[in-house]
Structure 1
């Protein structure tokens, strides 16, 4: 059964989804305002984690030269970047609550008695130069695939903790369509979605991860994480 906090955030999200159906709704303005709130929540999360001596230093990752990068991607793909992703890149940039490469976050969680579960810390790739090249190379390899292309924006829970896992999380590119509620791929059929009560779109996933599980949904069932989660959520503003 969903917790009261999950139910409250889910209700907020459903009401937010309804904003796009209002006559004359400005989808881009709604998304930009939402991601401005998301950035404030992430800045709060960053401060709280640093106070806990969490070892991940570069949690927020700004993007640069975005109009040119987005234009090049759209030209290559022949399709618009999902509006929600474009607005996220513009207002937030990117975020990493894990340390990919040296995985120093694993030692921290081990010290908290949380070494047996993958934290699944929130990670969304910023559109920097290396990411642009990576997305374009993925698109080139995708040409002979029968599947729909999606932006690989995050490793899965296992890869984030240096364990062999499956496909990452991301957003699908759909030709001729820019869907503000683009499905977040990688969580379909998961226990998380069952608790949330519907499939995740991008903003729904961000709210689930940050506002319900303090940025580490992999620890949802871990009793040792509860006091840390409560501290991290005590001052965060909803968005």
Structure 2
């Protein structure tokens, strides 16, 4: 593959889909010295675009009167986005020490993006939580009074007792729990994984970047029900968002 040295330039120029295809085709070979620097640079650029999209969505939702809250009966107000804290790089190493290599996009997300929680209620769209709002919590910056590592450590210990299946790092409640309804297990990411992109397991399994693009294409709500008011909101939210 002779074009890998142009991955970043091609990605920025608009060839995102083809660049991701090439990176995924490499699998764990993406870690080889000939590929790794450019591949990680693409993942970092993806994360910067995702962060910009999240900041834009939070601003637009607030302007529309959206209330960000927890998925509980009291609908406790909460911050929807917190950038990475000083422990972000350490968080990457902590996970790798316990699970092996992380996908490059996961490392980029933890270091550059932080945590996002778009659960809430829209004045024009009261059932917005049912549309599976984007949630991705890996770095723990949204919980300053607790340590997300304790939660991850418990999940890892439980998995070690019965390793019949790959470890699924929990990163978000499922769409039922986001709507404060009992449902299935959390969404997660399969680890370890030495690839560039991660494998995200939600309603279906797909590459993490594909899931994020799907979410941003729907204004952060990837399960719209087709309600007319809903689509009006989504059209306003999606204008000018970056493709990852």
TM-fit CA distance, 1:117: 7.2
Q: 1:74 aligns with which of 80, 85, 96?
A: 96
Cα separation, 1, equivalents of 2:21 and 2:124: 40
Cα separation, 2, equivalents of 1:219 and 1:30: 30
Cα separation, 2, equivalents of 1:204 and 1:13: 11
Whether the 8 Å contact between 2:84 and 2:112 is mirrored in structure 1 is no
- 1:131 maps onto 2:134 in alignment: no
Q: 1:208 aligns with which of 205, 208, 214?
A: 214
Whether the 8 Å contact between 2:129 and 2:179 is mirrored in structure 1 is no
Whether the 8 Å contact between 1:32 and 1:91 is mirrored in structure 2 is yes
Whether the 8 Å contact between 2:89 and 2:110 is mirrored in structure 1 is no
More off after superposition, 200-209 vs 220-229 = 220-229
Whether the 8 Å contact between 1:59 and 1:95 is mirrored in structure 2 is yes
- 1:84 maps onto 2:89 in alignment: no
Cα separation, 2, equivalents of 1:14 and 1:233: 19
Whether the 8 Å contact between 1:172 and 1:185 is mirrored in structure 2 is yes
Whether the 8 Å contact between 1:214 and 1:232 is mirrored in structure 2 is yes
Q: Secondary structure at the match of 1:172?
A: strand
Unpaired runs of 5+ in structure 1? 1-10, 99-104, 189-198
Aligned to 1:158: 176
Cα separation, 2, equivalents of 1:68 and 1:116: 35
Q: 1:179 aligns with which of 181, 185, 195?
A: 195
| Alignment RMSD | 2.4
**TM-score when scaled to structure 2?**
0.76
Unpaired runs of 5+ in structure 2? 1-13, 69-77, 141-145
Q: 1:61 aligns with which of 82, 86, 94?
A: 82
- Partner deviation per Cα, 1:133-163 (whole Å, 9 max, x = no partner): 1111100111122221111001110000100
Which of the pair is proportionally richer in strand?
2
- 1:18 maps onto 2:21 in alignment: yes
Cα separation, 1, equivalents of 2:42 and 2:188: 21
- Partner deviation per Cα, 1:157-192 (whole Å, 9 max, x = no partner): 000010001011111113xx411222211232xxxx
Q: Secondary structure at the match of 2:147?
A: helix
Aligned to 1:7: none
Cα separation, 2, equivalents of 1:137 and 1:117: 28
